[in-house]
Every structure is written in structure tokens, then in C-alpha cells.
Structure 1
Amino acid sequence: MKKQLLGASVVLLLSACQSNSISSQPTLENASKSALASAVQAGQNEAQRLNLLLEEYFNESMALNPVYATFVGEYAYNDKFNEPISEASRAKDLAFEKKYLAAIKAIDADKLEGQDLLSYQIFKRDREMAILGSRFDDYLMPLDQMSGVHNYFAGLGSGSSAQPFNSAQDYYNFEQRAKGFALYMDSTIEAMREGIEKQVVLPKAIIEKVIPQLQAHVVDDVKKSVFYGPLTMLESNEQISASEKAKITASYSKMIEQVIIPAFKKTYEFMRDEYRPHGRDSVGLSALPNGKAWYEYQIAENTTLSLSAEEIHEYGQQEVARILAEMKKVKETVGFKGSLPEFFTFLKEDEQFYFKSEQEVVDAYEGVKAKINSRVGKLFEVFPKADYEVRPVEAFRAASSAGASYQNPAPDGSRPGIFYINTHNLKAQPKFIMETLSIHEASPGHHFQIAIQQEVEGLAKFRKFGGYTVFAEGWALYAESLGKEMGLFTDPYQWYGRLVDEQLRAMRLVVDTGLHAMGWSRQQAIDFMAANSSMAASDIESEVERYISIPGQALAYKIGQRAIRDMRTKAEAALGDKFDIRKFHTQILIDGALPMPVLQAKVEQWVKEQKKA
């Protein structure tokens, strides 16, 4: 399945805590000595059995997901790629989940407490959800413009992502990994051919976005390939001798020419000539076999809550109307005399709201970073040790990427977090969203949540490097709501930017459910967003096609924000003068990402303890 390439969410989601190298840990090959076997031996208490089980799970999952292992700093598998898509590999993945579900059920939860109980609860839930998800044929649509393997592999190979290129061995490792990537790409072609037979294929609009992404890597000169980036870095590497550099340059260039480019070319030609004619006109999951149940699963997976598409759609409509009313107040505050749609047009067209260059964008966000850093102490008592950098999105993926994103820091502290700003279209990066976007993607949003999670001492690795979209994105959107409390949003246009961001999340509730449960067309979704926001047309198109490609993910933001805000409101009401906002935020962040029901129970217990204090 697509999600197994990078493991748990967020992360697309996801420091000071150094992870142990997996090379010294149990693997699939020496299962007889594994922690799983040890955990069931007599003499171990339930907490010890649990923690040995969780350690074994993490180590074995790294062997099954070597690319994800690289992203979380487990480098023993840097020369390997994930197994090609096949019936056998999917059966292995399912057997893996069933084995660990059986193992966790053998542990008595009544004898656990604290972090151990939290780990038990979420581990068991995750295995059950993974097994439930195996019913659906997402492997038949392995590529899309957002999370496709072709995109993140290019990031790895560019030298600007998680793949290290420090030693000669690092270069040779990637050469071997590239061979695995080529085999995997072959398997995506076979999976998509099977999808054609079963009528589980990508919408035409998405195919048209993927084709140029593949084509971009089909070049005649290896030096023009994004994969040549590490060889450019090699020139200034003082740890590698000149003779070794010459050897690496020759073999690495050959690998790009004979392995990577042909893999992209083959997939590009398949998508263009064979797959495109079979693309579907419909865009939602509900149009596919078993689509209604599939989307219900996506809602549960992404929100961790029992919610129907209908109630989410209705809540979204209410929020869109509320936020529009707030936008009208801003229009009146700044003295704009026209209608709200005319105000939207003014904001989209007036040059005062837009940057002139990529560097201006980066410099402006660096200024916002400094402003926020001077204020977060008002609301927080725990802070990440890792810093973050502001960078523009790389050119090779900018055209189809979101407006902004966050990449977690390296667990060993060797790489900071990265706040990516998409400067492909400067009209999609208005100045008035700077404060709210920085809060969301960096501090105290994603950077706080993800970096702190990686830095928590003693946290089970599956939790340290895992996550839940509803927690990560719910937290980031909740963090935006803290802007005024931090002394930001004093400029009415920056406050409008906050409303723009929240409106985007509210519209997502309507559009995602509309597309996947109510038969909306791509154009219906675009028209709805255009009528209710001042977003650039290119940004709306990118957003809508994102929702089409990753159903349910966009629901997590507003649903998660609502859940966390409800927890705070109830805690404030229960504790009165005893409520401390800094301690509340510590409770939300200090145990890493949790499903909303588990987080709610944890906060309720904290409130009871605070009452007694």
C-alpha cells in the first residue's frame, strides 16, 4: 500500500534523542533471538513484555520499510528500497500486522499504567486499523501528484532530504537503493495495469498532473538531472579522497543514466500512452468498487473519530458561513467600500499584498520567525531543542506541491526542521498569510509538535516516529488560534490571513466530503472554494486535486482543532483559576501524537488531578 512506503502519517509528518542503529537490533532474519520471543518468557512483568514487544515491532517495521527507516534516522537500510508491489508483499504486510495484534492482545492491559497504558491502547488500535484497511485496493493507484514514490524518491536523490551523502559508502548505498526503486517502479506499472482490469484507476485530472512530474526526470544529460545534486556536493567533500571521488562520479553518473532515467522514462511512457486513455471522469472514492466503505474508513483513519460524511459536511458549511461573516468585519475595519467578492478581488489583484521575488518571501518569513520566537514563552513551558530553517520548495516538485509544508528534523540532531514555502507562483503566497502560515507549519505548530515528540525521553519508537493526521494537523490549526494570545494579528490584514487559513480548512470539510461521498465534480469543488475565499485560482486547483488524491486527509485539520479546543474549553470551565494554559499545552504535546479519544481521556484525568492539587 502507498502509505507503507513512508510508514505512519504525518507525517508525511515526522532532535536531540539519538536512535540506536538497527544493525545492532533484532531483525526478521534472527527472529529466534527477537524481543518478541523474549517478551513471552516467564518472569517478565506486563510493562516489560509490552516494551520489548514494541521495540521488536519497530525494528521489524524498519526492515519492512527501509525508506521510512532512513527518514527516522535508522540508517542500516540506506541501500535498500521497499519491496515491489505484489500479492506476496501485501500478504507479508498483512501477516505482520496480524502477528502483532495477536501479541498485544496477549498482554494484560489492566496491569499497565501511564505511558505503558497509552502505548498499549494506541498500538492495538493501529494494528486493528491497518488490518481493516487491507480490505481496500489502494495499491492499484500507487502514484499521485502529492505522495507518489516518484516525488519523494527524487527528494531523497537530490541530496536535500533525509538520505545522507557524507561518505563514499553513502553514495554506494544510494546506487543500490536506486536499483530497488527501479524494480518498485516496474511493480507500480503492473499494479496500475491490474487497476485498469478492476476499474480502479486514477481520475484523468490527476493523471495529467503525474505525467509531467515523471517526464521532468527524463533528461538527456545526467548533469541536468535532480539526481546529480549529490555529485555537485561531492566536489567540496573533504572526507573523501580525490581518487574515490573520481570512482564515485563515474559509477554514480552511470547509475543515473542506466537505472534512474530509464525507470522514470518507462513509467512516464506507460502513464502517457497506456494508462491515460483509461483514466476516469469521476473523482471521488464513492465512484469506485466498495467506494462508500473505503471513504468511511478514510474518515476513521484520518480523524480517529466515529463521524459520518454527512455530519462533517454540515459542520463545514456552518464554519464557512461563520468565517465569511468574520471576513466581512475585516473588510469594514480596513474601510473597503465594495462587496465581499470585490474585497476578495482586491486582495488577489493589488500588488501591495504580494512579493516580487523568492528571496523576498524567504526573508519575510525569517522575520516572522524571529517575532514568534520572542512571544511563545507566554503560552508554553516546553520547547523543542531542534531549530528549523525556512526554504523554498525545490523547483522539480513546486508546480504540484502545496503552498507550504514542514519536514521534521533528523532525530540525531544532524539536520534541522524545514519550513518549506512554495514560491512557484508568488500570487499564491500573499503577505497577509505570513503570520498564520508560520505559526501552523513551524512554531508553535508542526515544528513544536513533531520535534518535541522526537525528543521525549523513553517514548516507544513507534510513537516517537509515528503520528496521527488529526493530532498533527489539529494541533497546527489550534496553534494558529493562539496568535492573538501571543500578541500577533494586530494588523487587520494579518488577521484576515488567519481567517483565510481557517476558511481553507472549513472548506476542506465541505469539499472532501462533497467529492468522495456526495458525487461532486472537480469543477463543483473549485467553484465552491472560489466563491468562499480569495485564494488564487492555481492554489484552489492544487488544493482540490490534493483532496481527490488523498481522501479524508483534509478532514483532520478542522476536526482535530475542534477536538483540542473543546478539551481546553472544558478544562478551563472545570479548573477556573487553577487552569494554566502553559501546563495544558504541555499535556497536549508531551506524550506525542495520540488518537483523539485517547488524548481526551488523558486530559480529563489531568483535570481531575489538577482539581486535587
Structure 2
Amino acid sequence: MSRSLFASYFAEKIRMSPSLGSYLGDRRRDSHYEDALSPHMLQATKELLERYQKALEAKQKNLTIEDVTLAWEVKIGLEDQMFPLEQLSTNSFRNTVLDLAFNESQMYPHPSESRYRDYATILRTVVYNMQQGIASRTVLPRRICERLISSIQEFVDARMCIRGTEEAVTDLLHFLKRDYLPACRTTIGICELPRGKPMYRHLIRQQTSTNMTPEAIHAYGIKEVERLETAFRRIQAAMGRSKRESLSHFYKWMMNNPDHYCKSTADVMKCYRQMQKRIRETIWKENFDYTLKTDYHIKKVSKDMESSSGGAFYIASSYRPGEFEGTFYVNTRDLKENPIYSMYTLSIHEGFHHYQYQYMIEKKVPSYMIYGVTNNGYSEGIALYAEELGDYSDPLDEFGHLVNAIMRAARLVIDTGIHWYGWSWEKAVAYMTEHVPLSSSEIETEIERYICYPAQALCYSIGRKVFMENREKYLKAFPGDSKGYHRLLLEDGIVPLHLITTKVHDAIHKASI
């Protein structure tokens, strides 16, 4: 049997990207790391995408799910090439210096001088791309550059540089201070950049795998915030609070209650491990028809990464057993960033990332349908959807669930507000402060993330919307069969969201014949 187009494409992609092969467990090229955003590699990537675009066009009929997924991947990849995204690729949220150090510490069992030389080359490419950005007026906001400089300086001062990259890191730091910072802009949205609005529309498609418009997403976000505030009112009453109390006062009361926080980082980690066991023994068993062989690890974010990392994140398992294992990283820099009421929902979200990947790996879904797809709308959307499967009979757990839900809804409003409607930093902070029960430092971190990573924050709620709508259709046709629906979601790997709708439609149609 001949290899599928997607399998061939993915094999070529791995040859171009040694780090992808290493991540998947192929150690033959551990001594190298690709310079993915260099002019040469961008051109090579474009040529690869164009070849497979032609191959798909030649096939035309009888396209499989793999073919349709590859077609989406190729389309989005070629659209990427229409915009100077590489000129904005290093920022305070996606810091190339720190990312390389993290990958080195987590992915490679042995040192390699040639790999270290590749890292230095990558950092020189960062400088080149940012120089091109100055020339094209495609530059970072000043506040983001200041944060980037600060985090790299802390990294250098702590002597954390990978051996052989010290000079390249120092050169990057000097360039940022001397040349780049003076050229930075005072605005924060990419709509202020040349061709910024078309770029943002593309990033929405890339991140959500839908064709929703910025206007529709903004309006949907406002509607969701209103719906969730009504739910908060119900929790407020259940906790015996006065009907006259404002939501903002209720939020502060919840956030300032010392009983809602762990006493130590050890307690934080213990609570997350308890949540892990609870979720596996309830949500997974009740909603899925397969028992996973391995669970995820839970680790603290290292001290040197705390200031630049989010509150929590998951790194997926390698496809090859015995290599990198799925890990949920918890940032314990501040106990107040890990309230007990949010731990259950957060554990569902990050834990489900592991369950979705591990299910696909153990069910032998082809690796290219798991790791060869750029689709946050699916992977983040399904994790947010999974939060809806939780048991929120405890008002404290429900409060935490609503905190996460309203944060994701507010993201729709703020991300589109910043990048489509040109909101200022102050307006974004004011909106989130009014509607989301987070501390001021957490709010600033969130908004900085939206600025650095346009449209990424949209994928959660938009993906959830698609999964919830299709669940309703499926269960109407197959009452009580949630396990069947979830099998349908996971069985083919990570696919564009429109394929989920197609699969549900086909399942219902087949059953009606």
C-alpha cells in the first residue's frame, strides 16, 4: 500500500526540521536544530507547500480525512508566507532565547556542540528578521520589547545561556537596546502595522480553523461574558451573599479569602495530583470508552522560567514510547496564582490535553495526524469543551469553572478589541478588570500574551463553540451516547473544525438510512 500524501509531506517536514524528529523520538539528528525562520528555510517551506498543493489539486476526487486536513495545513501555511510573521516572532511571551533553553533541557539527553552552533545561528536570524521589521515598520510595541529585554537580561545575569550561545545572546540583547527599542511603536494592536488587518484575519483562520470574522467573534464574546455574569450571580446567591453586592466586590471577597489558597508550593502540587486522580476516575471513565495506559506528569516550572511563563501549560508526549512523557507544568511563583477553586477546572483542561494526545497515540493514529497539524482550534477547543464535563455541584468548584470560562470569553472581546478595533492597553485592562476575577498582575500577564500572540486566545472559546454545537446535534440523534461522540472527536487525530461538523453529519445520516 502506497504512503498517503500527508505521510509523505510529514516525512519531508521532519527531514527539514530535526527538532521535530527528536521530539517524536527519532534521535538520529539530535546534533542539529533547524533555523526555521531564516530566508532559506522560509523559501524551502514555501516550495514544499506548493508541491503538495499541486498534488492535492491533481487528486481532486475521493479526498480522505487526511487529504482534507493536509489541504487545510497547506492553505494556512501558504497564507503564512504572505505576511512578515517572522519579523514579530520573538517577543516577551514567545522568547526565542528562553524557548531554546527550555527545549534543550527537556528534549535532549546528550550535549552537542553542533546543535549549540545551530542555536547561535537561530539567534542571529532573530536579529536579521527584526532588522527587516524596522525597515518595513513591522515592529513590536515598546512595552513588549522592554519586557523582552528584561527577561533576556535576567537570563544572562543568571548565567543560564547554553554553552556556545553567549556571544549571540549578548549581541541580540545589545541590538534590542541600541537599535530596536527606539524603533518600537506605542500602539499595541497589529491592526496598526502595514497590512495589519489582513494579517489578523489570517491569524484568526490559522488559530481557529474557521472563517469567523473579527466582528462576529467580538460580538459573541460580549454575549458570552453577559451569560457567564448571570451564572456568577447564581453562585453569589448560593454562597449567601447579598443581592445588592456588585460582582466586582464579590470577586474581591473570593480572591482575598485566605482559605482559598494553599499554604505552600508543596500543597499546590499535592492538590493538583489529587485533582488528576479525581478526573481520571470520574470524567474519563464516564465519558470515554477506552482506559489510558499512562497518565501525565505534574512538574513545577523551573525558577529561571517563572517570570516569563504562564500560570500553567502542557507539553505533549512523544510518539515513541519511553521518550518525552506528557507533562503538566505548574507555575508556583505566587501561591495566589493557584487558587484552590480553580484547580479542578484547570486540571481538566490541561489534563485533557494529555488524554487527547495519549488516546491518539495508544490508538495508533498516524503521527502526522497528531503532530503534523497546526490547529489550536481543535486542541485548545476540545480541552475547553472538556471542562463542561466536570462535576460542579460544589459552589467553590463552579466558581473556579466560571472564572476560567469568563476569562476565555473576555479574551474574545479583548483580543479582537486590541488587534481589530485598536484598543489601548488601558482600555483592555479596564475591560478585564471589570469582568474577570483575576489579580492585576494576572490581568497584565494575560493582556501581554494577547498582544504578543494575536488571535491565539480566540481558539479556546471558538473551538468549544463548535464542539458544543456538534455535541447537541449528535446527542439529539443518539441520546445518551456521549462516549460515541467523544470517540468520533478523537479517532482521526487533530482535524480542522469543519471536519468535526462533517463527521457528525455523516454519522447521523448513516444511522438514518
TM-score (norm 2): 0.95
1:387 to 283, 286, 295: 295
Q: 2:317 is matched with which residue?
A: 409
Match of 2:382 in 1: 475
For the pair shown, the structure with the greater C-alpha radius of gyration is 1
What residue identity is the alignment partner of 2:102? G
1:456/1:591 contact within 8 Å kept: no
- Secondary structure in 1 aligned to 2:478? helix
How far did 1:67 drift? 2.1
Please name the residue that 1:39 is paired with: none
Call closer, same or farther: CA 1:390–1:289 in 2, change over 3 Å: same
**2:151 counterpart of 1:201:** no
1:510 pairs with 2:424? no
Matched with 1:13 is: none
Deviation at 1:447, TM superposition (A): 1.1
Structure 2 spans left out of the alignment, 5+ residues = none
Aligned to 1:214: 152
2:373 touches 2:495 (CA, 8 Å); kept in 1?
A: no
Q: Deviations over 1:320-379 (max 9, x none)?
A: 011011111111111123322111111222211112221111011111111112212111
User: For residues 183 and 333 of structure 2, what CA distance do their matches in structure 1 show?
Assistant: 30
Paired residues, what number? 509
Specify the alignment match of 1:125 in structure 2.
72
Q: 1:288: which partner in 2?
A: 193
For the Cα contact (< 8 Å) 1:386–1:409, is it kept in 2?
A: no
AA of the residue aligned to 2:195:
N
Does structure 1 residue 300 correspond to structure 2 residue 205?
A: yes
Matches within 5 A, 1:96-495: 96-110=48-62, 117-158=64-105, 161-163=106-108, 165=109, 170-171=110-111, 173=112, 175-219=113-157, 225-226=159-160, 256=163, 259-337=164-242, 338-375=245-282, 376-414=284-322, 415-442=324-351, 445-457=352-364, 459=366, 461-484=368-391, 489-495=392-398
Partner Cα distance (2:462, 2:342) in 1: 21
What is the CA–CA distance in structure 1 between the aligned matches of 2:270 and 2:195, rounded to whole Å?
A: 48
Partner of 1:25: none
Give the Cα–Cα distance (whole angstroms) in 2 for the partners of residues 149 and 78 of structure 1: 19
Check the 8 A contact 1:386/1:417 in 2, yes or no: no
Structure 1 residue 108 displacement after superposition: 4.5
**Contact persistence 1:217–1:264 (CA under 8 A):** no
Q: Give yes or no for the alignment of 1:93 onto 2:45.
A: yes
CA distance in structure 2 between the aligned counterparts of 1:88 and 1:417, rounded to whole angstroms: 33
> Structure 1 residues 383, 594: CA separation in 2 closer, same or farther (over 3 Å shift)?
farther
Give the TM-score, by structure 1 length: 0.80
Deviations 1:550-583 (CA, angstroms, capped at 9, x unpaired): 111111111111111100111122334xx41111
1:602 to 481, 503, 507: 503
**Secondary structure, aligned partner of 1:152:** helix
CA distance in 1, matches of 2:361, 2:167: 38
Q: Secondary structure at the match of 1:79?
A: coil
- 2:404 maps to which residue? 501
CA distance in 2 between counterparts of 1:609 and 1:84 reads 44
The CA distance in 2 between the partners of 1:71 and 1:262, in whole Å, is 27
Aligned equivalents of 1:141, 1:468: Cα separation in 2: 20
The residue that corresponds to 2:492 in the other structure is 591
Q: Write the deviation string for residues 394-415 of structure 1: whole angstroms up to 9, x where unpaired.
A: 2222112211111111222223
Aligned amino acid, residue 527 of structure 1: A
1:588/1:517 CA distance change after superposition, 3 Å: same
> What's the counterpart of residue 38 of structure 1?
none
* 1:588 Cα deviation after fit: 0.7
Question: Aligned to 2:32, what secondary structure does the other structure show?
Answer: coil
Give the aligned CA root-mean-square deviation in angstroms.
Answer: 1.8
Q: State the distance in 1 between where 2:270 and 2:84 align.
A: 44
| Alpha-carbon distance change, 320 to 467 in structure 1, aligned in 2, over 3 angstroms | same
Aligned to 1:23: none
Q: Work out the CA distance in 2 between the residues paired with 1:286 and 1:69.
A: 36
2:135 counterpart letter in structure 1: E
**Contact 2:92/2:144 (CA < 8 Å) preserved in 1?**
yes
SS at 1:416 equivalent: coil
1:140 shift after superposition: 1.2
Asked if 2 retains the 8 angstrom alpha-carbon contact of 1:403 and 1:428, the reply is: yes
Determine helix, strand or coil for the equivalent of 1:106: helix
